[in-house]
Structure 1
Amino acid sequence: MNVGFVGLGIMGTPMAAHLVAAGHTVSGYDVVPESLDKLTASGGRAASSVADAVEGAEVVITMLPNHPQVEHVVLGQGGVLESAKPGTLLADMSTIRPETSLEVAKAAQEKGIRVLDAPVSGGEAGAKQAALSIMVGGEQADFEVVLPLFEALGKTIVHVGPHGAGQVVKAANQLVVGGIYALVSEAIVLMEGSGVDAGTGLDVLAGGLAANRILDLKRESMVQRRFEPGFRIDLHHKDMSIAIAAARQAEVSLPMTGLVAQLIASARAMGHGSLDHSALLKVTEQLSGRA
């Protein structure tokens, strides 16, 4: 397919490269020139603007930091809806508010452009390994059209419902991930405070009912206090605000989500926003007087 790709950050750059490797023609745009150089090196074409990236594309993928950027790139002057031809399919793979996805879908329908919201989970490692989980909201027929592209990017690809549903599932994903990080952090502090080797203890937990992907992937680095970002606290803070807003919109109570959101906000306030979200351990240590 001819693909326009807007947003070549730590996630978008490897994703675009995977699409090129799978045989698709990719024209990409980003405000950071170095990102364009990386796309060119992988075999893609560097576009001079959003409009340039979108021109002639059958599918446009956006991978942007938050809803203001999506609104600017998609709805703004010279943006996707203004530049794409009718019939183009826009797959927004950013993590944003569900209501923004609904607004984009409504505006796109008026232009004859099809839309999917398709946020991802798996972080930078998942993007590099083409092992992302992709949760997709929108029409089933549109999902089937873009599925070959998604299969070049991820391993778990599920159509979860109508427009906005992908963002709701992503919000649920992020509140669960944040909660597990908080509890693993408390487990480490409890074991170390009791004179127990936390690495050995987590090995045991990883083999029982408490097993989870975070223990599989992060227990060693957390015990060693290595917090190089795969997914930054700053971004998880943004995602928790989306989860809180979604709960308000749905008129449901998520008390644990509220607590975890405050812990992540505390990590950011302590200056840890650029660290991996496993650095939530630093907040637990601080609360226990063990920092």
Structure 2
Amino acid sequence: MEVGIIGVGLMGHGIARNVMERGGFGLSFLAHPGNQPTEDIVALGARACATAGEVAAGSDVVILCVTGSPQVEAIVTGEDGLAAALRSGAVVVDCSTALPESTLRMGEVVRQAGGDYLDAPMTRTAAHARAGTLNLLVGGEREVLEKVRPVLAAFTEKVDHVGPLGHGHRLKLLHNYVSVGFMTLLAEAAAQAADSGVDPQVFVDVLAGGGGASAALDRLAPYIVSEDRDALPFFVANAQKDIDYYRAMSDSSGARKVVADGVSAALAETVEAGFGEAYVPELVRLFRKETNT
């Protein structure tokens, strides 16, 4: 199979490289200013394309790894988009974090164009993308998943079929709400501890030995102790976007979202202050009293 990828960013770059190196698949990608440097994948034989339609025309599987629903919709339905050039029987694998209702609409557009659609959002980090050990939450037809499983195996450790189309993104939003919510709460607590003169290593050790032990603590501890932000290269603005997607999903189903509203407000304040491209671990500093006075 020939593979295309749109979105060679922090996550997509690792996916692209592993599709070629580990999977042995030919690769084309959309040339875009938001890509990470692509010289290495070009050296491996990847082909740069000027439009999403050009990527689609040369691919049996197209992986989307972009910011969210507006970008996915523009790629699928826009001028020179996927739908206009998709090969018959091709599969679009949307690894973005998107709204389930949008995913269902895009799935129907792709079906009308003669292809199939899977929502396959990722859990884990850019480091796992580089290592080829991402986890995917896949929604859609099981037969379609089996068709593309050899491609997904090139950059994943675990692939879970979680239900019909849209359920991958629904579960990703639930996952990110819990994950980002925990990290936002922890950053606020760490900021108060620092303001009070608590030794940061003692703070981390106390939490790790009790009810605060968690993946959130593992990811923020390097920043809490030594201001190393690179354990989680995830922009605060993207974290806010994911929380707001969760809130929109909750609104559409009439679900309670009081806590989610609070998390969104805390992140929005940081973004509005000009720190949207700070990494999430940096909330520990941005929430400190001295930063906000």
What is the match of residue 20 of structure 1? 20
Report the alpha carbon displacement of residue 283 of structure 1 after superposing the two structures with TM. 4.4
Other-structure match for 1:267 = 270
Shift of 1:245: 0.4
Contact 1:267 1:279 survives alignment (8 Å): no
Paired residue for 1:46?
48
- Give the secondary structure class of the aligned counterpart of 1:14: helix
Give, in angstroms, the shift of residue 190 of structure 1: 4.0
User: What do you get for the CA RMSD once the two structures are aligned?
Assistant: 2.1
Correspondence for 1:74 among 73, 76, 84? 76
* Equivalent residues, number: 290
**2: CA distance between counterparts of 1:106 and 1:200?**
53
CA distance in 2, matches of 1:207, 1:108: 49
Q: Residue 153 of structure 1 corresponds to which residue in structure 2?
A: 155
Cα distance in structure 2, aligned partners of 1:156 and 1:222: 30
| 1:199 and 1:220 in contact (8 A); partners too | no
Describe the shift of the 1:207–1:43 C-alpha distance in structure 2 as closer, same or farther (beyond 3 A).
farther
Please list, as runs of the form range in 1=range in 2, the aligned pairs for 1:116-131 lying within 5 A after superposition: 116-131=118-133
Given the superposition, is the C-alpha separation of residues 192 and 78 from structure 1 closer, same or farther in structure 2, using an over 3 Å criterion?
Answer: closer
1:289 to 1:15, Cα distance in 2 relative to 1, 3 A? closer
Cα distance, 1:267 vs. partner? 1.2
**Aligned match of 1:9:** 9
One-letter amino acid matched to 2:80: G
Contact kept, 8 Å, 1:17 with 1:43, in 2: the verdict is no
Aligned residue in 2 for 1:198: 200
In the TM superposition, what is the alpha-carbon distance from 1:35 to its structure 2 partner?
Answer: 4.2
Shift of 1:264: 0.8
Asked if 2 retains the 8 angstrom alpha-carbon contact of 1:47 and 1:53, the reply is yes
Contact 2:236/2:278 (8 A) holds in 1: yes
Structure 2 CA distance, aligned partners of 1:290 and 1:236? 20
Instruction: Tell me if the contact between 2:76 and 2:106 (Cα under 8 Å) persists in the aligned partners.
Output: yes
Q: In the aligned structure 1, how far is the partner of 2:184 from the partner of 2:110?
A: 39
1:160–1:46 CA distance, 2 compared to 1 (3 A): same
Name the stretch that deviates more: 7-16 or 242-251. 7-16
Distance in 1 (alpha carbons) for counterparts of 2:4 and 2:56: 5
d(CA) in 2 for partners of 1:13, 1:183: 30
Q: In the alignment, which residue of structure 2 is the partner of 1:88?
A: 90
State the Cα deviation string for residues 16-73 of structure 1 (Å, max 9, x = none): 0000012111111132387443420343222233222222422111111222221111
Q: 2:135 aligns with which of 103, 128, 133?
A: 133
Give the structure 2 partner of residue 30 of structure 1: 31
3-state SS, counterpart of residue 11 of structure 1: helix
Q: 1:99 to 1:183 in 2, by over 3 A?
A: same
Structure 1 residues 88-147: Cα deviation after superposition (integer angstroms, max 9, x where no partner): 111011111111111101111212210001111223222222222211111111112222
Distance 2:114 2:9 in 1: 29
Alpha-carbon shift at residue 191 of structure 1 (Å): 3.2
Structure 1 stretch displaced more, 275-284 or 70-79: 275-284
Q: How does 1:246-257 map to 2 (within 5 A)?
A: 246-257=249-260
SS at 1:155 equivalent: strand
Within 5 A, what are the aligned runs for 1:182-197?
182-197=184-199
1:159-238 matches, cutoff 5 A: 159-227=161-229, 230-238=233-241
**What is the identity, as a one-letter code, of the residue corresponding to 2:156?**
G
Give the C-alpha shift of residue 290 in structure 1: 7.3
Deviation, 1:80, is: 1.1
2:236–2:275 Cα contact (<8 Å) kept: yes
CA distance in 2, matches of 1:30, 1:141: 31
Q: What is aligned with 1:97?
A: 99
Q: How high is the TM-score relative to the length of structure 2?
A: 0.91
Q: Which runs of 5+ in 1 are unaligned?
A: none
Is the Cα–Cα contact under 8 Å of residues 105 and 115 in structure 1 kept in the other structure? yes
Task: Please state how far the C-alpha of 1:266 moved relative to its aligned partner.
Answer: 1.1
Distance 1:37 1:55 in 2: 23
- Calculate percent identity across the aligned residue pairs: 29
CA–CA distance in structure 1, aligned partners of residues 291 and 117 of structure 2: 49
